[in-house]
Amino acid sequence: MTTWMWEARAAQGRVADLEAWAWVAVRGQEAEIYLGRGASSGLVVILLHIGGGGLEADTVGPPLPDPPVGLVTGTVHAWQFERADPRLDRSDRVG
């Protein structure tokens, strides 16, 4: 399974709107949404779980559309991960 971590900082006063957009954007997919607290206040982080870890999951680009203009400040970031498992040889994927 591939997991994408998506992160954006909400524009001033728009955290609830960005959260609402995020729930719509991930509808029908296996996802978790987190809201920043303290120094991370204003951040919305989505963990989106895709596929069974095969080639299909590996070749998918960032899985979410850009949020509407005005919802975020700065750049949206997305990173692709796979779960570490000491029983599997991942030497071909390190680097």
Contact by Cβ (8 Å): 8, 63: no
| Length of the chain as a residue count | 95
pLDDT in tens, 36-77: 999 999 999 999 998 765 545 555 577 899 999 999 999 999
Which residues sit opposite 3 in a β-bridge?
Answer: 49, 81
pLDDT of the residue at 1: 78
Query: By residue range, what is the domain housing residue 74?
Result: 2-84
pLDDT in tens, 10-37: 999 999 999 999 999 999 999 999 999 9
Cα torsion angle, 24, 21, 35, 60, sign:
positive
Residue 80 maps to a domain? yes
Residue 12 maps to a domain? yes
User: Using CA atoms, how far apart are residues 53 and 42, in angstroms rounded to an integer?
Assistant: 31
Residue 54 maps to a domain? yes
Q: How many domains does the chain have?
A: 1
In this structure, what CATH number is given to the domain that contains residue 6?
3.30.70
Residue 73 maps to a domain? yes
What amino acid occupies position 50?
I
Residue 92 maps to a domain? no
Residue 33 maps to a domain? yes
- Nearest Cα residue to 5 out of 93, 80, 84, 76: 80
